[in-house]
Structure 1
Amino acid sequence: MVTNILTHHCNPQRTGTNTLETTLAINNVHSSSFGKLWEYPVRGRIYAQPLFVTLVDAPRDLPQHLVFVATAENLVYAFDADSPAPNPVWAYDAGADIVAYAGRVYMEDNGQGHGQDITPVIGIIGTPVIDLAHFTMYLVAKTQPKSDVDPDHDEFYDTLHAIDIRTGKSRGTVQISGHIEGGGLFNARRENQRAALALVNDRVYIAWAGYGDIDPYDGLVMSYGTADSGQPLKKIDHFQVARFKPLAGGRHKKGGIWQSGGGPAIDDRGTFLYIVTGNGDSSNDHAGSDFDSSTVKLDLNLHPVDYFTPSFQNYLNEHDLDMSVSGPMIPDDQLDSDGRPVKLLCHGSKTGELFLFNRDNMGKFHDDSNDIVQQLRVFPDADDLDHQMAPSHIHTTPIYWRAPDGPRIYVASDFNLGVRAFRFVHEKLDPHPVARNFFPRAPITQMTLSSAASRPGSGVLWFISSPTGTVASYPGILYAFNAENLEMLFCSEDNPFDRLGDYPRFTAPIVANGKVYAPTFSNKLVVYGLKQ
C-alpha cells in the first residue's frame, strides 16, 4: 500500500487518520529513539496543512515521495520527502510580490483596525487539495495589487490556481467572482478562505468566512471545474449561507464557514458535502431559509438537501458561540441496537459539545429540542470557567480510529482541558471517556493519528500545542500520545535539538512513511523520525 495525503485531515471524510503507518509505533516514538531529522526552509508562515504524494511511476528526475507546503506569502514548495536537501524540487509563486497585508484586510471601511488572527500577510491560508489522477494541485491565493486607476486604492483578489505537482508549472488560474444574493459582489477583502478545499470528481469546492467578523461578509461555498473537466476552471455553482430577505428590504449576512481550517466532509460515495456554519444575523424564525449556526448537507450542485439548526441558535448567534470552529467528520457507519447501519456525521463546537448526526435525517430545526443522534458535553468540567465557555471550545476536527478495542472518536479542548477519547456503543458514544489526558497547555486545535490499521501498539496521536499562548510568535511543541490510553510518548521540548519553532495555529502535522512533517510559523517545515 502507498501513502498519499491529498487533502486536509488525511481523506475526504476528514477522519484525520493514516492507517498505513507501519514504522512509527508506541514502542519507538520516544526521545531516545525518535526526534528531529532535518528542516526544509520556506518563506512565510504555514497555515495550510502539508500534503504528501507517492509517485508510483516517478520519472528518473523526480523523487518518489514529495511533500508539499503552501505558505501565507503565496508560495508553494515541493520537497523530496526522503531527503534532507534544503532546496525544493520546485517552487511556485502565486503572487508573492502582491500578497495581501493583514493590516489592510483587518480594517473597516472607516479606517478602524481590528485584531489580526492571520498576520502579517494573507496569501495561501486554506489547505490545497490534490487531484492525483491528473497530477494537479488546487489552491486559492489572496493578492492586493495596486489599482491602475487610483494608485492610493488597494484592490483585493482571490485566485484559484491549478499546478502540475510534478513540475510546479501552472495549469491555469481564474479570479474568484460572483454575485451575492440580496445585493453586492464577491468581496475578496472581506471573505476569508480559511477552510480547506475539497475535490469531488471533476469539481473543486471552496468555502469562505469573514475576518474578525468585520462586515460585510457572507458564508459561501463555490464549485469550479477542474483543469481536466469539460468546464476547466469555470465557476459552476454557488451556495450562500444567509440569504433571507426581510420585508424591510434588508438581508441577513455572515454564517461563515471556516471550521478552524477543516474542509467540507464528503461521504465515501462522493454524493454529498457537509459544512458547519458560524454565527450570523438571522434567528430561529428563519431556520431552513438561512443556515447560520447550522450543519448543512449539500448535493454536488450545492443545493441544501438537509440541515440541522439547534434550538438555541439565537443564543449562539448573540454570544459568538459559533458551531463552525470545528470541521465536520464522517466516521464509519455504526450499527444501532437492531443491527441496522446508521450513517453518521460529527463535529464539535464552541460550547464544548460534540454533535452526532444521522446523515439520512440531520434533524432540521425544532423550538424545544434537538432531533439528532447525540449531543455530548465533552468538557462538563468547564461549566464554571471563563467567559464564553472558552476552555471547552472544540476547535479540532474530530479524529476517528478503529482502535483494537473498537471504534473511537478523539476530541481536544482549545484551552486547558486536554484530549478525550470516546468509544461507540452502537451508533452513540459512551459519555464516559475511554481515555483522557488533562493537558495544561493552550491550545490544541488540530490533530492527526497514525497507525497500522487496528494493530495493538501502533496507534499514535499527534498534535502541536503551545505552553504560553494562542496566536503567532509563541513556541510550538510537537507531542505524541499513545492513542490507546493517551499517555504521553514524546515532547519536542525534552531535547533542545528537537525544538519545533513558532506555533502554527490551527494546523496539524502529517505522518507518512515513518516521518512526521510539522508546520511552523518560523519559515520552515520540520521533519521528525527515527534516529539512525
Structure 2
Amino acid sequence: MKQSSYPAFHRFFESRSNKLLVVGILACAFGLPWQIVAEAQTSVTTYHGDSQRTGWNSSEGILKPSNVTATTFGLIASVALDDQVDAQSLVVANQVIEGQGMHTVVYVATENNTVYAIDSSTGSILKTANLGAPVPRPLGCTLNGPNVGITGTPTIDVEKQTIYVMAYTLVAGQPSYRLHALNLQTLQDKAGSPINVMASHRLTDGSKLSFNSKVERQRPALLESNGNIYAGFSSFCDFSPSSSRGWLLGWNAGTLTALGANELTDTLKTAPANNGTNFFLSAIWMSGYGIADDGVGNVFFVTGNSDPNLNTYTGTTNIQESVVKMPEALTSVLDLFTPSNVFSLDQGDEDFGAGGVLVLPDQPGPVPHLAVAAGKDGRLFIIDRDDMGRFHNPDIPAHVNIGGCWCGSSYYQGADGVGRVV
C-alpha cells in the first residue's frame, strides 16, 4: 500500500481577472488527485463533490487553460496546520460562522484530530476543534504519518448545518473510533455526539465477532445517503491479518444510532490456510476514495486482498477483490463483480480494492446504469450495475488497461455531450 506525504498546509488561489474564487487543495495522501473547486457559490460537501464520486462540477464554465495562467491565477495564502492532512478538504459557500459573519469556508481535518474552518479568500482560521488525542503509529504501521486521527474524508449536510467526522482517538490509553456530528457554525458537537463505534457480526459457525478498533483503519471517505452515514474499514499495513477484516458500518444521520445490520466482508470462522495461520482482511480501503451510492438506495464499495496462501473466495462468506452492491440498510449483498483471477490478485497483493468505484450518471443505450473500478493490476472494469457479473471466467465486464491504480476515477461530459472517465 504505497502513499505519499504532503506538508501540513493548504493553498488558496483566486482568479484575479474575473474575481473568480478558486480553492486549490493539495492532493491527499494515498495517491488522491488534486481537487479543484470553481466559482464562489459552489460548495463541495463530500468526497469528489457528489455521492456518485464523479469529481465533476457541471456548473463550472469559466476555467480553461487560457485563463488559468501565472498572471490570472496564483497563491493568495498558506495556512499552517497541526499535522498531516489525508482527507479531502470540503467547501461551503455563504456559510455563517459564529461570531465571524458569513464566509466561503474551507473545512480541513488533520491526523491530529483537528478540524479547521478557514476563510477561503484570506486563509484566516475562523474556528478550530480538536476531537481528542490521535493514535501514534497504530501497530507500528508506517504507511501514514506519525499519528492517525482523521483519515477518511468527512461529509457535510448543509441543510442540517452538520459536518460528520470519524476520529481515531486514545480513550483511557486504548484506540477507539468516534463518529462526530459537528455544528458547521461552531465546530462543537451536536446533541448525541460523539458516539463510540461498536459493531458485531455473525460468523459462519454462528459465533459473534466484535469490531476491534485496534486493528481497523477507517480510510474511505464517509458517505451520507438514504438518511444514513456510512464508513468503511480496512487494516493498518495488512498487520494483524488473523484479526483484521473489512467492515461497512452505518448510522442514522439524525440520531447517530447504528443501523441494525452491517457488512463483514469475511465471515469465515477460520481461514483454511495451508500454513496453519488464519488470514482474513478483504479490507475496504480504496486509497481513501469514498463509499458511493447510485441515488436509488444502493451503496457500492470495493474490497482488497485476502489469504495469499489458499483461495478462500466464495462470493458469500468471503468477498475479497470485489465490487460490492448493498441496499441502504446493509442487510444483504445484492450483487457483486469479482475478477476471474481473484486468487492471483490475493497471491500478489494486487488489491482490486486499491481503487474506488465510480457510479456513472445514466448513459444512453441499452445499458444505462454503469460503474467503473480499477486496482493495482491496472485494469479498469466497466460494470453494469443492474447485472454486475459476479464471478465468471472469462470476465464478463469489459475492461481497459490504465496502469496500476491506487486511485479512483472521475467523470465529466464534454461540450460534445460525450461522457468521459478520467
Q: Same fold (TM over 0.5)?
A: yes
Please give the alpha-carbon distance, in whole angstroms, between the structure 2 residues aligned to 1:320 and 1:202: 36
Which residue of 177, 201, 205 corresponds with 2:226? 201
Structure 1's 22 and 403: CA in aligned 2 closer, same or farther, altered over 3 A? closer
Matched, 1:40 2:79: yes
Structure showing greater Rg: 1
Contact 1:316 1:322 in 2 (8 A): yes
Is there any run of 5+ residues in structure 1 with no aligned partner, and where? 108-113, 147-153, 379-391, 411-532
Give the deviation of 1:122 after TM superposition: 0.4
Tell me, yes or no, if structure 1 residue 93 matches structure 2 residue 130.
yes
- Alignment correspondent of 2:399: 375
1:51 equivalent in alignment to 2:90: yes
Q: 1:4-403 residue pairs with structure 2 within 5 A? A: 4-55=43-94, 61-85=100-124, 88-95=125-132, 98-102=133-137, 105-107=138-140, 114=141, 116-146=142-172, 154-171=173-190, 172-182=193-203, 183-215=208-240, 216-226=243-253, 228=254, 232-236=255-259, 237-245=261-269, 253-269=280-296, 271-281=297-307, 283=311, 286-302=314-330, 303-336=332-365, 340-366=366-392, 368-372=393-397, 374-378=398-402, 392-403=403-414
SS at match of 1:334: coil
Q: 1:202: how far off?
A: 2.0
Q: For 1:21 and 1:139, locate their aligned partners in 2 and report how far apart those are by CA, in whole Å.
A: 28
Aligned length: 367
CA contact (8 A) 1:284 1:311 kept: no
Gaps of 5+ in 2: 1-38
Range with bigger deviation, 211-220 or 32-41:
32-41
For residues 119-149 of structure 1, what are the alpha-carbon distances to aligned partners after superposition, in whole Å with 9 as ceiling and x for unaligned?
Answer: 2000001000111110111111111244xxx
Contact 1:242 1:252 in 2 (8 A): no
| Structure-2 change in CA distance of 1:248 and 1:59 (3 Å) | closer
The 2-side partners of 1:181 and 1:203 are apart by 22
Residues 234 and 24 from structure 1, CA distance in 2 versus in 1: closer, same or farther, beyond 3 angstroms?
same
For 1:247 and 1:197, locate their aligned partners in 2 and report how far apart those are by CA, in whole Å: 30
- What amino acid does structure 2 have at the position aligned with 1:243? T
Aligned-CA RMSD value = 2.2
CA deviation digits over 1:291-322, x for unaligned, max 9? Answer: 11111001001121000111110100111000
The CA deviation at 1:346 is: 0.5
Offset from partner CA, 1:56-77 (integer Å, 9 cap, x none): 7888842231110000000000
C-alpha distance in 2 between matches for 1:126 and 1:285: 27
Aligned counterparts of 1:22 and 1:40: Cα–Cα separation in 2: 28
Question: C-alpha separation between the residues in 2 aligned to 1:62 and 1:218?
Answer: 45
Give the CA deviation at 1:401: 0.7
Deviations 1:221-253 (A, max 9, x none): 000112x2xxx1111131011113469799762
Query: Residue 321 of structure 2: SS of its match in structure 1?
Result: coil
In 1: Cα distance, 2:209 partner to 2:197 partner? 14
The separation in 2 between residues aligned to 1:191 and 1:313, in whole angstroms, is: 23
**1:82 is matched by which residue type in structure 2?**
S
SS in structure 1 opposite 2:145? coil
Report how far residue 201 of structure 1 moved: 3.1
CA distance in 1 between counterparts of 2:362 and 2:269 reads: 38
- The aligned amino acid for 1:17 is W
Query: For the structure 1 residues 310 and 341, does the alpha-carbon distance in structure 2 shift closer, same or farther, using more than 3 Å as the test?
Result: closer
Q: Which has the higher contact order (CA 8 A, sep 6+)?
A: 1
- For residues 248 and 320 of structure 1, what CA distance do their matches in structure 2 show? 18
